[in-house]
Amino acid sequence: MKVVVTRSGGFAGMRVTWQVVIDNLPDASDWVVLLRELPWDEVADEEPQPDRFVYRIRLEPLADAEPPQAEREATLAEKQLTGPWRELVDKVQDADTPADPPAKPHPSHQHK
């Protein structure tokens, strides 16, 4: 199973993505317990707020998972990121560095 967290918005409007494949982690069972606690179907739609973050959280099952698993996804406003949602985001951020590559410098800023 792979967990992907994408944070967008904020003052600078930047997007950052973290991801972790939990199947081979020594604490994989702890991750599974946390993922089962999440209220995937109870996330209320929230209007975006200026200069605040929005979190997109995706659970991607492995293609050969037995038994087959469904993909799950939730989009939360920053103020909704509480309880188990906050715990999950913190765990993913701690387990992986940002997956988005850093921006390349503009050609005029490169040394020759």
Place of tokens 């972790």: 20
pTM of the entire predicted model: 0.76
Other CB atoms within a 10 A radius of the CB of residue 82 amount to 10
Lookup: tokens for 25: 């982690």
Beta strands in the chain (DSSP E): 2-9, 16-21, 53-60, 72-77
Three-state DSSP at 1 gives coil
Q: Going residue by residue through the chain (112 aa), what tens digit of pLDDT does each one get?
A: 899 999 988 777 789 999 999 988 899 999 989 998 899 888 878 776 767 889 999 998 866 656 667 789 999 999 999 999 999 999 999 998 555 544 444 444 444 4
